[in-house]
Amino acid sequence: MLREQTRPDFSVGKGSLDGRIRDEGTATERFSLDDAKIIYNFPFNDLLFQAQSVHRENFDPNAVQISRLLSIKTGGCAEDCGYCSQSARSPTGLKASRLMMVEKVLAEASKAKAEGASRYCMGAAWRSPKDRDMDTLVAMVEGVKALGLETCMTLGMLSPDQAATLAGAGLDYYNHNIDTSEEFYPQVITTRTFADRLETLANVRDAGMKVCAGGILGMGETTDDRISMLVTLANLPEPPESVPINMLIPIPGSRLANAEPVDPIEFVRTIALARILMPRTHVRLSAGRTQMSDEMQALCFFAGANSIFSGDTLLTAENPGEDHDAALFRRLGLKPMDMGLSQ
């Protein structure tokens, strides 16, 4: 048993921390940065034990939700995100493409379902979608849902009207990562603000869709920045249903091409903290899995990660193929999450 003087008082029932979470109806902040730092800095074994305990209270510990991500419009983005291969401001050599045809998207979605995906995510390299593209996007959502898949899109910033249109089409999830802490954010992106990110998340939630929002590790941020990012997400009026945690893939030509790799143990600690702060959220191992050993991924699953992207590519980056993931799942005794049990 952990010594009481070294940690906050935990209660994993309903995923709360005794004395740390206040009723949502009476307070907007449920976690302080200091509380989260205490948790993050537990001895590693104690942190993973606590994260796994919380995970088991809320999920099947051996089930992993499988998503597939398709780039429906690649390159030419007006934003200057320092990590991204698709920014028109960075000489990454990526050519811009037009918005994909609906029929092509549905063919790829059908293939993804046959290969075990339960959620289909569609991403476009835009600052925000143009109104002229909304009918096509609606057709994609409706078509993918008709295949029996959950739907997700990431299209940049959304206005309230655009969010309402996508929600009306049946879009289940909208992804809009906050990327890092509010303090470090200007070092990564200058073409939009941290507040802009939060405004889109509020528009998505107000429209009735589920929120997918996470961040990227390894951009030069501090440990406190990583903790602050997770505290921001956990303290939203309603925490995201999905939180992707990405490991930076250094892209030649991007501003972060020479960033120092994140320490694997620090990455696992971040996964564990996300699980503890957001007990009922899907925590996804996202970009960067090709740079992770099987053992590192196994630790992440033990720490509470329970979602991955499958397929050989992740937008424009490499991703472990289905054969590798299937072999890893067999070694670990993991199974794809039943869609009926998915949040």
Q: Which residues are catalytic?
A: 77, 81, 84, 121, 152, 212, 284
DSSP 3-state percent helix, strand, coil across the chain (nearest 5) = 40, 15, 45
Between CA 18 and CA 37 the distance in angstroms is 16
Q: Cα-flanking dihedrals φ and ψ of residue 39, to 5°?
A: -65, -50
Q: Which residues make Cβ contacts (< 8 Å) with residue 321, sequence separation at least 6?
A: 311, 312
Within 8 A by CB and 6+ apart from 82, the residues are 187, 188, 189, 219, 254, 255, 256
Residues ≥6 apart with Cβ < 8 Å to 48: 268, 272, 299, 302, 303
SS3 177: coil
b/e 146-161 (16+ beta carbons within 10 angstroms → b)? eeebbbbbbbbbbeee
Tokens of 258: 């020479």
**How many other CB atoms are found less than 10 A from the CB of residue 134?**
16
The span from the CA of 254 to the CA of 256, in Å, is: 5
